[in-house]
Amino acid sequence: MAWCVLLLASALALVSDETRYQYVRGPDGTPHLVDLWLKTSDLKEIASEGLLGLTNYNPQRRTVVLMHGWLDNVNADFNTVLVPAFLDAEDLNVIVVDWSAGAGHSLGAHQAGIAGRNLGGSVAYITALDAAWPGWITNDDKFRSTDGVYTEAIHTNVGLLGYIGDLADVDFYPNGGINMPGCNSQDCDHS
């Protein structure tokens, strides 16, 4: 999971001589391909391939980093809904991290927390979207309220695929955290 800190630091740094594609080594030495996509109010479509320094990133804008869901990619519903919502509400930079080979919003929620923790808890806010339950019940690295200045968790499938119990400064349980309206399966509740 340490590679996730390098990934987030790379996404936030946007060093002009870095390519959009990066290989970051995991703790076991395995290389993970990470793909960074920048979207802004001026460029709502997926940016072209190439150097991050050639994008229209504006350091004066607030930057939001999104980490997609388990077995998803940059085109997942998670991103196609949230990116336009953020950009319609505010003039900002949105960096979408595509790590489809190894993480997701449920697992990604914990990884976002680990990244925030390793940045000293200085990330302004982190939202954990239905953080994973399997494998994280007693895991000391799970998402914590101290991972950012302000943390919130939204629980939509508690006790099945999503974590049961409070994790953040504020925890939301829409519809009691189960059986989301419009869903007829646990997978749908969790997505």
Active-site annotation, residues? 106, 130, 190
Interatomic CA distance for residues 189 and 162, integer angstroms: 9
Greatest Cα-to-Cα distance within the chain, rounded to the nearest angstrom? 47
Q: Which long-range contacts (CB under 8 A, 24 or more apart) does 180-189 make?
A: 180/156, 186/157, 186/160, 186/161, 187/161, 189/156, 189/157, 189/160, 189/161, 189/162
